[in-house]
């Protein structure tokens, strides 16, 4: 499970950020609406108030939604692994080898959780600040 957390955070986050190739989305009506009397038409007014959010990399885009889902699943997996590691630590009954394995499982789950949190933060930073 820790491997799943690590691969989810490390492999998918950079791959998802690579999907957004358009860093400057443009509105096709900009040129037509900026010339002459067309700027007062209802279509031009709607286009100007609508904004230019990219459906792939915008604030509510596919990349952010996918990053949120992946981070949620990986976070739940990490919490489950921490609970399982705690259970094995409590039931190790003084056996040093089993206690060490349980500690390693808990530590790996925390590291996976940190990696997922950092990957999610990087994806959000890139899509919110850089790609706009």
Q: At what angle do helices 62-90 and 96-125 cross, to 10 degrees?
A: 170
Question: pLDDT > 90: what percent of the chain?
Answer: 42
Question: pLDDT > 70: what percent of the chain?
Answer: 57
Mean pLDDT of 67-79: 95
**pLDDT tens digits for range 10-67:** 444 444 444 444 444 455 555 566 666 556 777 666 666 655 566 676 667 888 899 9
Compute how many other C-beta atoms are within 10 angstroms of the C-beta atom of residue 106. Answer: 19
Whether the per-residue pLDDT at 86 is higher than 60: the answer is yes
* CA dist., res. 121 & res. 116, Å (int): 8
Say what the pTM is. Answer: 0.57
What is residue 6's predicted lDDT score, i.e. its pLDDT? Answer: 43
What is residue 31's predicted lDDT score, i.e. its pLDDT? Answer: 58
What is residue 5's predicted lDDT score, i.e. its pLDDT? Answer: 45
What is residue 78's predicted lDDT score, i.e. its pLDDT? Answer: 95
Write the secondary structure of the chain as one string of H (helix), E (strand) and C (coil).
CHHHHHHHHHHHHHHHHCCCCCCCCCCCCHHHHCCHHHHHCHHHHHHHHHCCCCCCCCCCCHHHHHHHHHHHHHHHHHHHHHHHHHHHHHCCCCCHHHHHHHHHHHHHHHHHHHHHHHHHHHHHHHHHHHCC
Of 125 and 4, the structure prediction assigns the larger pLDDT to 125
79 Cβ contact partners less than 8 Å away, ≥ 6 residues apart: 109, 113
What is residue 64's predicted lDDT score, i.e. its pLDDT? Answer: 87
Instruction: Provide the mean pLDDT of the chain.
Output: 76
């Amino acid at each position: 499970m820790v491997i799943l957390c690590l691969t989810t955070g490390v492999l998918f986050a950079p791959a998802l950020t690579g999907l957004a190739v358009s860093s400057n989305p443009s509105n096709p009506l900009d040129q037509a609406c900026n010339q002459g009397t067309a700027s007062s038409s209802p279509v031009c007014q709607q286009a100007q108030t609508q904004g230019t959010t990219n459906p792939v990399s915008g604030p509510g885009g596919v990349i952010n939604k996918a990053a949120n889902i992946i981070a949620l699943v990986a976070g739940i997996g990490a919490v489950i692994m921490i609970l399982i590691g705690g259970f094995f630590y409590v039931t190790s009954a003084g056996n040093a080898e089993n206690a060490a394995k349980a500690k390693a499982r808990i530590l790996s789950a925390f590291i996976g959780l940190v990696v997922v949190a950092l990957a999610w933060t990087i994806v959000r930073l890139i899509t919110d600040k850089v790609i706009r």
